[in-house]
């Protein structure tokens, strides 16, 4: 049965291979506009009904953006749910937002993470990442030039560190609950962070609205409040949580190329996490700077010790230490 679950999970992840593109071409960047006549009445396009309230909450929490604008009403691509989601409402004070998320912290035990978020704090963090099409404004994004072609890429250590206050709240919740269960050890911390992230719904964020670019990356606040994100966004969320739980030198973000299962020979971008010091036997590993790192998928729930990665190539490693 475990082998069957692993195979099914692998098929689902491979089907999401287009979720990440490490070298996003400015000329091919996504853009979107609001549709005030959309069927749900919110001006959103293709937003699943289960997360329409989340859309309104993230808009409320980002009302104080100063530098960038985002179109949260353009629905996610390839949306998929796994039986868990984030629920929330605006606090009685009319400003803060109360959110809760129930997920399986370890096998057979579900817990609820509850948090109250403030629009000023969230807006400040969200305003810390993005770029303008003319590249005159860059926050957490780097310019790359290859054969005369200008592309932009995310500065991952910066983005992970940008969300440290929110990640610290999640990490404290994980430690508290693991201690109550008598399971607070290195491996359990990593697996709990994995479970927190994997059970969030999957969807490729499409926040771009000209002239602003975000390389289809959702920051941890956005991934959580919207209750969806994709491979690189989930990996950034997990890395930010892990950085508060274990040694940061034991964490890597890994981008790679993965073959499209529907079009043989066509490669797409993907991202996942690599963690040192795990006891897995069958998952793929990589020795980097003298340490053995185990690959951990973030896109969908799976059994890590029974989960060898699909064939990947062109691996790039991003330490999370700033």
pLDDT digits (tens, 9 = 90+) for 2-52: 333 343 344 444 444 433 443 322 222 222 333 333 334 445 568 899 999
Q: Hey, which residues does 146 pair with through a beta bridge?
A: 149
Give pLDDT tens digits for 150-190: 888 999 999 999 999 999 999 999 999 999 999 999 999 99
Please state the pTM of the whole predicted model: 0.86
Evaluate if residue 194 carries a pLDDT over 80.
Answer: yes
Evaluate if residue 306 carries a pLDDT over 80.
Answer: no
Task: Give pLDDT, residue 29.
Answer: 27
CA distances from 48 to 39, 170, 182, 227 (A): 11, 26, 38, 11
Task: Give pLDDT, residue 267.
Answer: 81
Average pLDDT over residues 67-87: 94
CA 78 – CA 46 distance, rounded (Å): 11
Question: Where are the domains positioned within the chain?
Answer: 2-319
Q: What percentage of the chain has pLDDT greater than the value 70?
A: 84
pLDDT band at 308 (very low <50, low <70, confident <90, very high): low
- Which two three-digit tokens encode residue 160? 């992970």
Average pLDDT over residues 47-64: 96
The residues, ordered by sequence, that sit 6+ positions from 88 with a Cβ below 8 Å of its Cβ are 53, 54, 57, 97, 98, 99, 100, 225
Under 8 Å between Cβ of 294 and 187? no
CA distances from 132 to 81, 136, 152, 208, 209 (A): 32, 6, 11, 10, 10
Beta-carbon count within 10 A of 27 CB:
8
Task: Give pLDDT, residue 181.
Answer: 97
Give pLDDT tens digits for 92-149: 999 999 999 999 999 889 999 999 999 999 999 999 999 999 989 999 999 988 788 8
pLDDT band at 261 (very low <50, low <70, confident <90, very high): low
Give pLDDT tens digits for 206-260: 999 999 999 999 999 999 999 999 999 999 999 999 999 999 999 999 999 887 7
At CA 298, angle to CA 295 and CA 303, rounded to 5?
A: 70
Q: Helix, strand, or coil here: 53? A: helix
The residues, ordered by sequence, that sit 6+ positions from 91 with a Cβ below 8 Å of its Cβ are 97, 98, 116
Give pLDDT tens digits for 262-302: 677 778 889 999 999 998 877 788 888 889 999 999 999 98
Higher per-residue pLDDT: 146 or 199: 199
Q: Strand (E) positions, 53-178?
A: 77-80, 86-90, 97-106, 109-117, 130-132, 138-139, 141-146, 149-154
């Amino acid at each position: 049965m475990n082998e069957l679950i692993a195979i099914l999970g692998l098929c689902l992840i491979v089907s999401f291979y287009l979720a990440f593109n490490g070298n996003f071409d400015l000329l091919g960047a996504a853009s979107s506009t609001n549709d005030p006549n959309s069927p749900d009445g919110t001006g959103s396009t293709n937003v699943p009904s289960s997360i329409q309230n989340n859309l309104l909450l993230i808009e409320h929490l980002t009302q104080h953006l100063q530098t960038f604008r985002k179109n949260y009403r353009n629905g996610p691509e390839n949306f998929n749910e796994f039986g868990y989601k984030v629920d929330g409402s605006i606090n009685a004070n009319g400003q803060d937002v109360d959110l809760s998320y129930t997920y399986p912290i370890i096998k057979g035990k579900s817990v609820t993470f509850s948090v109250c978020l403030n629009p000023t704090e969230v807006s400040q963090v969200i305003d810390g990442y993005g770029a303008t099409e003319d590249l005159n404004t860059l926050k957490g994004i780097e310019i790359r030039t290859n054969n005369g072609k200008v592309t932009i890429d995310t500065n991952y250590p910066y983005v992970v560190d940008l969300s440290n206050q929110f990640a610290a709240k999640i990490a404290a919740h994980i430690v508290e609950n693991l201690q109550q269960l008598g399971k607070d050890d290195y491996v359990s911390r990593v697996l709990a962070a994995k479970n927190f992230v994997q059970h969030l719904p999957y969807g490729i964020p499409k926040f771009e609205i000209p002239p602003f670019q975000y390389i289809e990356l959702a920051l941890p606040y956005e991934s959580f409040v919207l209750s969806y994100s994709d491979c690189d966004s989930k990996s950034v969320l997990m890395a930010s949580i892990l950085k508060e739980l274990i040694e940061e030198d034991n964490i890597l973000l890994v981008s790679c190329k993965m073959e499209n299962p529907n079009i043989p020979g066509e490669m797409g971008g993907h991202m996942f996490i690599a963690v040192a010091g795990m006891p897995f036997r069958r998952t793929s590993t990589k020795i980097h700077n003298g340490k053995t790192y185990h690959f951990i998928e973030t896109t969908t729930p799976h059994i890590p010790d029974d989960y060898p990665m699909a064939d990947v190539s062109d691996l790039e490693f991003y330490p999370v230490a700033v």
